[in-house]
Chains A and B, each alone.
Chain A
Amino acid sequence: MKSSSAVLALALASTTEAGLRFGCSTLTIQRLDPVVEPGNAPSAHLHHIVGGNAFNATMTGDVGARGTCTTCQMAEDFSNYWTAVMYFKHPTNGSYHRVPVVNNAALAQGTTGGITVYYTQYDLSRDNIKQQPITAFKPVCSPAELGCGGILTGSRVSA
């Protein structure tokens, strides 16, 4: 992982190399997955979800137009990110216990649980964005348009 100072130094070194890193608190923990199982409530398994308040069992169109706030540090964007939830199986009685998520206090003090999000080009030194387009939910406007922010509003990530 790159330190914030390394990211800044690289960003200043060249306009073609850039990285973005920010913290997001836990938004909710739900059996929902609008990418893999749109409309299914509940989905097959549990997810830990961060990001904008427009998250729902089904998500289409421009989430940025519907969201009004987010658990992420970037208040201008309402993307959601989610991961599967991990369970600990008790070695003697076989019971399952949800493993809690610890916040990345070194990056964002005051966050609760959550995810650290990195947007990078290939490895902060090579740009292969065109070879790896992010298309889970397509943006509703051209990334070149003001306020459309292709890499941000055009990307929704799930796991």
Chain B
Amino acid sequence: MTVGSPTHTGKVHAGLSYNCLTTLINRGPELADFPTKPCPAGIFVTHHFPA
């Protein structure tokens, strides 16, 4: 199964969501689009199958 596409240029990808990490264990809200600000502890990406 696959999620997303390397040729996709739109904002929201079905099956993909993001968390902008404040710390390693503080994920904050789940976002439909890629974070637009720096995330201190990184970005947690969820790939949901099937999309």
Question: Footprint of B on A, CB under 8 Å?
Answer: 1, 35-36, 44-45, 83-84, 102, 105-106, 132, 134-136, 156-159
Bound Cα distance from A84 to B45, whole angstroms = 11
Selected contact of B6 from candidates A35, A45, A105, A136, CB within 8 Å:
A45
User: Are A136 and B1 in contact, with the CB atoms below 8 A?
Assistant: yes
Assuming the contacts A134-B1, A136-B1, asked whether A159 and B47 have C-beta atoms less than 8 A apart, the reply is: yes
Interface of B, helix, strand, loop or mixed by DSSP: loop
Cα distance, A156 to B43, chains bound together (Å): 24
Distance in angstroms from B27 CB to nearest chain A CB is 7
Do the beta carbons of B6 and A83 come within 8 Å of each other? Answer: no
Q: List 21 A-B contacts (CB under 8 A).
A: A1-B27, A35-B2, A36-B2, A83-B47, A84-B4, A84-B6, A102-B24, A102-B41, A102-B42, A106-B24, A106-B25, A132-B50, A134-B1, A134-B50, A136-B1, A156-B1, A157-B1, A158-B2, A159-B2, A159-B3, A159-B4
> How many chain-B residues does the 8 Å CB contact rule pick out?
14
In angstroms, how far is the closest chain A Cβ from the Cβ of B1?
5
Q: Which of B2, B6, B49 is the one whose CB lies under 8 Å from A134?
A: B49
CB-CB < 8 A to A1: which residues of B? 27
Instruction: Type the 1/0 row for B1-26, where 1 means its CB is closer than 8 Å to any CB of A.
Output: 11110100000000000000000110
Residue in B24, B27, B49 whose beta carbon sits within 8 Å of that of A157 in the complex: B49
Write the chain B residue with the least CB distance to A120: B48
Partner of A44, one of B3, B6, B25: B6
Q: Which residues of A contact B4 (CB under 8 A)?
A: 84, 159
Chain A residues near B3 (CB-CB < 8 A) = 159
User: Which of chain A's residues have a CB closer than 8 A to the CB of B49?
Assistant: 134, 157
Which residue on A lies nearest to B7, using beta carbons? A44
